[in-house]
Amino acid sequence: MKAAIYQVPGGPHSVEEVTIDHPKRTEVRFKITACGVCHSDLLVWTGARAADFRPPMILGHEMAGIVEEVGPEVTMVKPGDHVIRGGSGVCGKCKWCMSGKYFRCVNRGRYTRREPHEPPTTWKGKFIGGIGGGPGGFAQAAIVDETALVKIDDDLPLDRMALIGCGVTTGLGAALTTAKIPPGATVAVFGAGGVGGSAIQGARIAGARQIIAVDVFDKKLEMAKKFGATDVINAKKTDPVEAIRELTDGGVEYSFEAIGNKKTQTQTVLCLAPRGTATFVGVGRDGDVLDDLPVYFITAAERIVRGHHLNYSSNAIDLGYIVSLYKRGLLNLDDMVSQHGSLADVDKAFHDMEGGEVVRTVLLPNG
């Protein structure tokens, strides 16, 4: 099969022939029909996460496709089923899984039953992996544990469903399961990309009264309005903290950082009302530390700063629920897919993301 290989930080991808095994035991091999390009892929490609992720790799982790072949112990899906890769697979046996908190599985993301000498995917005879605890989606197929997949109806558009594999679930999960925005709340979302746009939609679904989107591109802010933003701020033209305080008479109750930038992380805290909660969703460079968080500002008015991570929190959301929101017209995925591409378009997708051109590029590895 073909895959786009990340070989050098910041360097071009090359589409290469890669070998993929047959699924063993509880594994499933599925054809990747669509794979969204997430900023977390871009971060790895730039070398900003080199401590954990080194080339060569197959990036891409927002996948949807069709089951091709199943291992002998698979019971959850069968060939021909349409699926979203909804996470990294869980063991079902650790203390977290056994207490129903499978999203905290300590074996999540490992090939729980694969040994190092039997790699699922090889390039030039050597193991090649991806990010997000599994094989990369910028490829024509992948092998995952059956618990990583969510079966969906055959008539759902796989290019939109793919986004549920990361960005949409991360943003919705931040708003609904981590922050638990109550009806009537005031909200600010920094970054109106795939994750931030989904947090905005989560806030709308939760019934927030005011949703303020902050971005540096007017194009993104126009999209943010489609997703549910009631107010928009271009941070290149206006100080977002001052503007948010003014719009809300003193600050928002819930804020979200969906960029991964130290300056906007601090701003996400500074725009909070007393007792407000800032949720950090963005991922920055290895070793990022915030030095300029005003401690007494947090202490004196009992503000909360917390994190949200797809694998840890969002997977607590039933992905079937997210699919149902789309089917009922409550979740706008159609406007999140800005453009399609092929495996040869990974670099273009990254440049378009950096240039503010797209909410999401979705690659179609099998054409």
Can you give the binding site for ligand NAD, defined by CB under 6 A?
Answer: 38-40, 43, 166-167, 170, 190-196, 214-217, 220, 235, 258-261, 264, 281-283, 308-310, 353, 356
Q: Which does 346 bind (CB under 5 to 8 A by kind): ligand NAD, Zn ion, none?
A: none
Whichever of 145 and 345 has its CB closer to Zn ion, that residue is: 145
38 binds Zn ion (CB under 5 A): yes
Per DSSP, 53 falls in state -
Nearest Cα to Cα of residue 190 among 221, 163, 167: 221
Q: Which does 216 bind (CB under 5 to 8 A by kind): Zn ion, ligand NAD, none?
A: ligand NAD
94 binds Zn ion (CB under 5 A): yes
Q: What share of the chain is helix, strand, coil (3-state, %, to 5)?
A: 30, 25, 45
- Of 26, 33, 40, 315, which lies in the binding site for Zn ion, with binding defined by CB under 5 A? 40
Tokens (6 digits) for 283: 């991922």
Whichever of 48 and 70 has its CB closer to ligand NAD, that residue is: 48
Asked if 208 contacts 200 with a C-beta cutoff of 8 angstroms, the reply is no
| Stretch near Zn ion under the rule CB under 5 A, chosen from 73-81, 112-120, 162-170, 256-264 | 162-170
Three-class SS state of 288: coil
Report in angstroms how near the CB of residue 131 gets to Zn ion at its nearest: 8
57 binds Zn ion (CB under 5 A): no
Nearest Cα to Cα of residue 359 among 236, 226, 255: 226
Q: Which does 260 bind (CB under 5 to 8 A by kind): ligand NAD, Zn ion, none?
A: ligand NAD
Report in angstroms how near the CB of residue 115 gets to ligand NAD at its nearest: 29
Helix axes 39-46, 346-354, angle to 10 degrees: 100
Three-class SS state of 317: coil
Asked if 22 contacts 30 with a C-beta cutoff of 8 angstroms, the reply is no
DSSP for 154-166, written as a single string: TTS-HHHHGGGGT
Residues that bind Zn ion (CB under 5 A): 38, 40, 90-91, 94, 97, 105, 107, 166
